[in-house]
Amino acid sequence: MKQYSYERIQEIIRRRERSLEITQKLLKLKLIRKRASLTILMIYYRVCNAILRAVIKITAHPSFNFTM
């Protein structure tokens, strides 16, 4: 399993958020149509971002310990 730095994870989150913003603007301007696959992709990005933010918070907590 790859290990990513906090900066790398935050960059991934920022890129996905930017993609969501662009998609929402295009939908609002009616330059693209809302389809099932687009909706699923947007939900996927939101869920992944939420999970990554939670991982960052958990691993940043001082009581978190990798050893069992």
Percent of the chain with pLDDT over 90: 66
Q: What is the pLDDT of residue 17?
A: 97
Whether the predicted pLDDT of 4 surpasses 80: no
Q: Residue 30 domain-assigned?
A: yes
Of residues 62 and 18, the one with the higher pLDDT is 18
Gap between the Cα atoms of 48 and 38, Å rounded:
15
Helices (H), 1-68: 6-28, 36-60
Q: Residue 34 domain-assigned?
A: yes
What are the structure tokens assigned to 16, written together? Answer: 């996905």
Q: What is the pLDDT of residue 68?
A: 46
Looking at the 3D structure of the chain, how many domains does it have?
Answer: 1
For residue range 35-68, list pLDDT tens digits in order.
Answer: 999 999 999 999 999 999 998 888 776 665 655 4
Residue range of the domain that includes 17: 9-60
| 16-25 LR contacts (CB < 8 Å, sep 24+) | 16/45, 16/48, 16/49, 17/45, 17/49, 19/45, 20/45, 20/46
Q: What is the pLDDT of residue 26?
A: 96
Q: Residue 67 domain-assigned?
A: no
